[in-house]
Structures are given as structure tokens and as C-alpha cells.
Amino acid sequence: MKKSIVIILLAMSVLASAQTPNTLSKKEKKEGWKLLFDGTTTKGWRKFKNDKIGAAWKVKDGMLYLDAANKKDWQTGDGGDIVSDGEFENYELSIDWKIQACGNSGIIFNVQEGGYDYPWYTGPEFQVLDNACHPDAKIIKHRAGDLYDLISCKTETVKPAGEWNVAKIKADKGNYTFWLNGTEVVSVNMKSPEWKTLIAGSKFRNMPDFGKFTKGHISLQDHGDEVAFRNIKIKEL
């Protein structure tokens, strides 16, 4: 009986200490973290090269999600890749994400607009994927947590489709580190000779400005599949 009471109390303690999604703790505020998604509106986000966000991007139950019911080619009708209003250079970024079964999306950074057709013409990508059944999961460097088409995860820590994952990206003077669900999975220096070699051996080799920028917008990708994000927060270094 006493053991049962202890278990119940511990469970209550865990629930009480769980932080409400899309909020900052006192510690995070003190450290300089800021929310990029308020949990109730799409404020702070807009369609790539546009001043408004596509109607397929919606907010429900504290998450920013892509309603992919109206699929058009490989993206979503009235969706499109979205970008943050602000641009960032040296920072820590944390985002919770979950993907539909067999789905594909991505978190793209250092994105430029100008005369480019898509965010991935300039910005590298933290891959968001259902490794269980999306065709890209069969391709090395295309799996969840990979630096897309450039570097594979050191270890795979992705959760199944429909479950929340926590992605973290640290950008510090050209050094980039990825974490997925608390485990470091990728690290690279974008100012090194290795970076040029990686690009030369990738699908981005014919995009002259890919991976050249260390400052830009953050983008959430519309790849035609339902994907959801929450707890989008950043701390500039």
C-alpha cells in the first residue's frame, strides 16, 4: 500500500513539474531564450518570399502544423515552405516536431530569399522523417536527424511517426551541432575545407550559394506531408 502511494506521489510530482508547451521557464528567460511560436497564432512566420503565411499552415492544440490534405505535386496547395521573420547567426535553436506515418519535412537554416526559388537553395537542412517507411530512409544521409544529403547521424534516436521529437541546432561562428532527443548526432564546421568537399559530393553541388551563409532565416519545410511543430525557441549567442 505504501509503495503504491509513493508511486502515485512521484507521478504527481512529474506532472506538476512538466512545463507547459510553448512557454519559457524562469531559467530559460534568464538565459535569454525567446519563443518563435506563441502556441496560438502563426505570428512571426510567413511563406518564403511572401509577407503572409499559406492557409494550409494552421495552429491547433498548441502546435503549428501543415494540413497536407490538398497535396499539389510534392508540396501542399496553399502551403509552401515558411520562414521566420527574423534572421539569426550565432544561436541555439530548439524545436519539437512530429511527422505523419511515412512523412517527410525539414528544418532549414541560414535561409536567404532574394532571387532563390526555395529555402534549400541556400540553407542546409536538419532532416525530419519517418525512418520506418518513407523512401528517403533507404538513402544514407537522408534519415531523421541527418544534415540532409551531407552528413549522417552518429546514432539514430528518432521516435516513431506521430510521437514528439526534440531537435536542437547550435550555430557558433561557423560550427554547427545537431542533437536529436538529447543525443548529439551531427557536427560540422561550415568554414572548413571538409564543408566544400561535402557540398561537392552532394545534390547541392550545382547550387552556387548553398551553404555559403552563416546568417539567415529559419525555415519549416512543406514536403507535402502532415508535420507539426511546437516549443520553437531560440537563444542568441
Closest CA relative to residue 227, chosen from 169, 180, 161, 182: 161
> Three-class SS of residue 43?
coil
Q: Domains, the chain, ranges and CATH? A: 23-236 (2.60.120.560)
**How big is the chain by its Cα radius of gyration, in Å?**
18
The count of other CB atoms within 10 Å of the CB of residue 89 is 15
* C-alpha span between 119 and 49 (Å, rounded): 9
Tell me which amino acid residue 164 is: W
Amino acid at the residue 139 = I
Measured CA to CA, the distance from residue 205 to residue 118 in angstroms comes to 15
Tens-digit pLDDT string for the chain (237 aa): 555 554 444 444 434 457 899 999 999 999 999 999 999 999 999 999 999 999 999 999 999 999 999 988 899 999 999 999 999 999 999 999 999 999 999 999 999 999 999 999 999 999 999 999 999 999 999 999 999 999 999 999 999 999 999 999 999 999 999 999 999 999 999 999 999 999 999 999 999 999 999 999 999 999 999 999 999 999 999
Contact 224, 215 (CB under 8 A): no
